[in-house]
Structure 1
Amino acid sequence: MKTLSEIINKIKIISVTGDDKKMIESLTIDSRTAAENSVYFAVKGTNTDGHDYIESAINSGATAVVCENIPAIINDNCTYVVVEDVAKTVGKIASAFYDEPSEKLQLIGITGTNGKTSTATMLYDLFVSLGHDCGLVSTIEYRIKGNIFKSTHTTPDAIRLNAMMKEMVDAGCGYCFMEVSSHAIVQDRIGGLTFKGGVFTNITHDHLDYHGTFDNYIKAKKLFFDNLGRDAFALTNRDDKNGMVMLQNTKASKYSYSLRTMADFRLKVLESDFNGMLLKIDEDEAWFNMVGNFNAYNILAVYSTAFILDVPRMDIITKMTLLGRVNGRFEVYRSAGKITGIV
């Protein structure tokens, strides 16, 4: 439990009305889950404005509100913290409330239209097989040191993310592999997190209903890499025509991978059938129990990430050849009558 002043000291504040020494027990962006001694964030969404629910949150027990405009009628039992953009403060305040958990993890974010779930899950499985305790945040599920929880979003909100990472730290996890959606990037759901690295898989004409144009979609993905720190790494798929765009303005160390051209990490498919693929990664050949050219890219992204994280090359390849296929991602089944089905 921390005081309000302790968790807001890293954000740009316009004004504070009320007592900032109150003890805070929880955070919420949903007025319906506000509780005694909680902070309510009045986030302006696409369809609703959190400012409309400030009174409801206070009636439910919220003792502090982060908002952009103070209500006309002030409740003397509540402290109002006015900021320029509430959405941009949620992650930073949540990070401070939960003791900066992402700084205590090797947090790797994977973004792109396709391949996020497979790449993140394979990284988790690989590092667990190497003896590490890890966390996973994916479209399918969340994992904390072997405990599995059903996911609700590709990328949860900033409060839930920091809470999960605090659980990972408390459980002894050293790594977290996380899908990062374009929605989460532009909605500041990953604000306040410190990433050790970012991986770009590919980008296709998707989510245009949200972003409006393909150019906006590209900019959303690129923003993730623009915000990486100097101590992080940025790894991109050079075969995607927008892959190198992701690295243009990043301060992170830059790496690329490819199946078709010169890159820091290269792969060649030597053989392929429904049982798997014989791959040549850099100078090493090995058989992998996965099929499809897209999985060759996922495998190379995982190999490259692990290598950058200082895992010995042969340890990576040896362990990866033993990995199973990702649930719900191009699983191959063969009947007794030799009929092949793909899920």
Structure 2
Amino acid sequence: MKVLKDILYKVNINAVAGSTNTLINKIEFDSRKVAINDVFVAISGVTMDGHQFIESAISSGAIVIICETLPQILKDGITYVEVSSANMALAYMASNYYEHPSKNLKLVGVTGTNGKTTVTSLLYQLFKKAGFKVGLLSTVKIMVDDSEYKATHTTPDSLTINRYLQKMNDKGVEFCFMEVSSHGIHQSRTDGLSFAGGIFTNLSHDHLDYHSSFAEYRDVKKSFFDGLTKDAFVLSNIDDKNGLVMLQNTVAKKFTYALKNYADYRAQILENDFGGLLLKLNDQELWTKLVGNFNAYNILAIYATAALLGLKNEEILRLISELESVSGRFQYFISEDRITAIVDYAHTPDALKNVLETINSIRTKNEELITVVGCGGDRDKAKRPKMAHIASALSTKVIFTSDNPRSEDPDDIIKDMEVGVEPLNFKKTLSITDRKQAIKTACQMAQAKDIILIAGKGHETYQEINGERLDFDDYKTVLECLKQLQK
């Protein structure tokens, strides 16, 4: 049991009705999970308002209500705390409840449109190989040293973050690498955490269904760095036009990385093929199994972060050369018929462009590049024609298909995409709504030495259709299709 006033430390409180000396069991923001002596935090979400469930939470045993607007009728024996922001209150309360676990390890947050999962996952790999106990909070999975847990969000809610950080404390974890999404920052999920450092990868068109404009999206990302302390570091990609913007108001120690501009950490691509990359990092050559220009940036960010966290240069270079690619991030194999199949999470215009440009820089141009791509439903519609434009311009053949249509008609999503195809590229395109059939068709079209790119879902092992999550794995599907054609 905890004392309420202790977990309200640093919470911006407007009014209190009742006692803050109350002993509480746990904190919940989902009224369905509330039990006897719990605190219920009424979050005003995008689709639902937690204030509507205050009575339900009290009926289930809640004795403390945290809310932005006090109910008209206050019940005896219940403590009501009115706060300016329920999201922010939840973040600080969660940190207080779990006894500030982020202070007991070195927590590094990675934000940007693309590269978050790769950078955090490879840093986890590298520090594990270096012999440390390491944590990971990513889109793909959550790791507490060697124990793996399922991830449901890029940046989990504040309670989940702090609960896993406490598990890491219990296991003696020294470093934790965490993806920090714009949603997570905007909803204050990272407030109350002590970061040792922050990394900015890049910024391009994404999440404009949630943010009102690109400027707001950029400024939300920037606010993460603005909130870091002078004891932390910021590592920013200054080849991105927003890289210096991220550094403007932070009091943290500032470091930069780049392939094209002068920076604290620089890299040059010497060789790039399906076998990997040969890089020159700060005048030292390094071979890595990862492929593509975008991965050169990821490797450079990892190299710089490891150096800033105290690892020795020679050890960092050795460990980077041993790193394996991340699931669903330029994950590829070559079939017996010598067809190369690549699965990548590229679900933004910039990410898709990077992957296709990488493939085109490697291939001989004597083979076909067949791209299978869709766009998610109930998400930013403005990027749909852009994705189609890029796919049709940079591929020899394109199949438009379903991604995660969610509540939308997949045929309508594909129609939105087709608007972006230039007339001279129409003959390259084909639309097949069923994703499995689209992948199977790509495999049937491919000849020896051709390349198939399946973009958009990457590591995901499901498709979201009308509220259901159906089993679906791009990598397994293309593997099975190519094997069947070999028979």
TM bucket (normalised to shorter chain) is over 0.9
Q: How many residues align?
A: 343
2:228 aligned with 1:218: no
- Give every structure 1 segment of 4 or more consecutive aligned residues whose post-TM-superposition deviation is greater than 6 Å: none
How many Å separate the matches in 2 of 1:253 and 1:81?
A: 37
CA distance in 2 between partners of 1:229 and 1:307 (Å): 19
* 1:146 is aligned to 2:141: no
Bigger Cα Rg? 2
Deviation of 1:12 after TM superposition, in Å, equals 2.6
Do the aligned partners of 1:267 and 1:282 also contact (CA within 8 Å) in 2?
yes
The two structures, once aligned, show a CA RMSD in angstroms of 1.0
CA distance in 2, matches of 1:19, 1:216: 39
Q: Identify the residue that residue 292 of structure 2 maps to in structure 1.
A: 292
Mapped partners of 2:328, 2:84: distance in 1: 42
Following superposition, the deviation at residue 52 of structure 1 comes to: 1.2
**Pairing of 1:110-125 with structure 2 (within 5 A):** 110-125=110-125
Q: How far apart are 1:262 and its partner, in Å?
A: 0.5
Is residue 25 of structure 1 aligned with residue 25 of structure 2? yes
CA distance in 1, matches of 2:14, 2:270: 61
Say which SS state the counterpart of residue 191 (structure 2) adopts. Answer: coil
CA distance in 2 between counterparts of 1:155 and 1:30 reads: 18
Aligned-partner residue type, residue 292 of structure 1: G
Aligned partner letter, 2:324:
G
- Structure 2: distance between partners of 1:71 and 1:340: 61
Identity %: 48
2:274 aligned residue:
274
CA positional deviation for 1:69:
2.3
User: Does structure 1 conserve the Cα–Cα contact (< 8 Å) formed by 2:267 and 2:281?
Assistant: yes
> What stretches of structure 2 of length at least 5 have no aligned partner?
344-487
Show CA shifts across 1:185-213 (max 9, x none).
Answer: 11111111111100000010111111121
State which drifts further: 200-209 or 5-14.
5-14
How far apart are the structure 2 equivalents of 1:238 and 1:69? 43
* Structure 1, 261-270 or 45-54: larger mean CA deviation: 45-54
Matched, 1:202 2:202: yes
The letter of the residue matching 1:135 is: G
1:124-177 deviation digits (Å, cap 9, x = unpaired): 000011111111011111111111111100001111111111111111111110
* Higher relative contact order structure (alpha carbons within 8 Å, sequence separation ≥ 6): 1
Deviation at 1:77, TM superposition (A): 2.5
Specify every segment of 5 or more residues in structure 1 that has no aligned partner in the other structure, as ranges.
none
Contact 1:90 1:191 (C-alpha < 8 Å) held by counterparts: no
Q: Which amino acid aligns with 1:340?
A: T
After superposing the two structures, state which structure 1 stretch, 167-176 or 12-21, moved more: 12-21
Kindly provide the amino acid, as one letter, of the partner of residue 11 in structure 1.
Answer: V
Aligned to 1:252: 252
1:334 to partner: Cα distance: 1.5
Distance in structure 2 (CA, Å) of the matches to 1:152 and 1:190: 16
Q: State the Cα distance separating 1:63 from its structure 2 match.
A: 1.2
Paired residue type of 1:339: I
Is 1:54 matched up with 2:54? yes
TM-score, normalised to structure 2's length? Answer: 0.69
The separation in 1 between residues aligned to 2:330 and 2:205, in whole angstroms, is: 21
* 1:170 aligned counterpart, secondary structure: helix
Q: Is the 8 A contact 1:303 1:317 kept in 2?
A: yes
Looking at structure 2, the residues matched to 120 and 104 of structure 1 have their Cα atoms a distance apart, in angstroms, of 19
8 Å CA contact 1:110, 1:200 repeated in 2 = yes
Distance between the aligned counterparts of 1:9 and 1:196, measured in 2? Answer: 22
- Residue aligning to 2:157: 157
Structure 2 contact 15–82 (Cα < 8 Å) conserved: yes
Q: CA deviation at 1:339?
A: 2.2
| In structure 2, C-alpha distance between the alignment counterparts of 1:151 and 1:336, rounded to whole Å | 34
State the distance in 1 between where 2:123 and 2:42 align.
36
1:179 aligns to what?
Answer: 179
User: Which sits farther off after the overlay, 66-75 or 125-134?
Assistant: 66-75
Q: In 2, distance between residues paired with 1:76 and 1:23?
A: 16
Q: Residue 301 of structure 1 aligns with which residue? A: 301
Matches of 2:180 and 2:65, distance apart in 1 = 28
Match of 2:339 in 1: 339
**Deviation of the 1:178 alpha carbon:** 0.4
Q: Is the 8 A contact 1:8 1:93 kept in 2?
A: yes
- State the secondary structure of the residue aligned to 2:209: helix
Shift of 1:46: 2.0
Query: For 1:11 and 1:291, how far apart are their aligned partners in 2?
Result: 46
Paired AA for residue 299 in structure 1: I
Instruction: Measure the CA separation in 2 of the matches of 1:214 and 1:70.
Output: 34
Paired residue for 1:95?
Answer: 95
Cα displacement (A) at 1:247? 0.4
TM-score of the aligned structures, taking structure 1 as reference length:
0.98
Aligned partners of 2:236 and 2:256 also within 8 Å: yes
* Secondary structure of 1:11 counterpart: coil
Q: Which residue of 1 aligns with 2:35?
A: 35
Query: Offset at 1:48?
Result: 2.1
SS at match of 1:211: coil
My pick for the range that moved more, 190-199 or 80-89, is 80-89
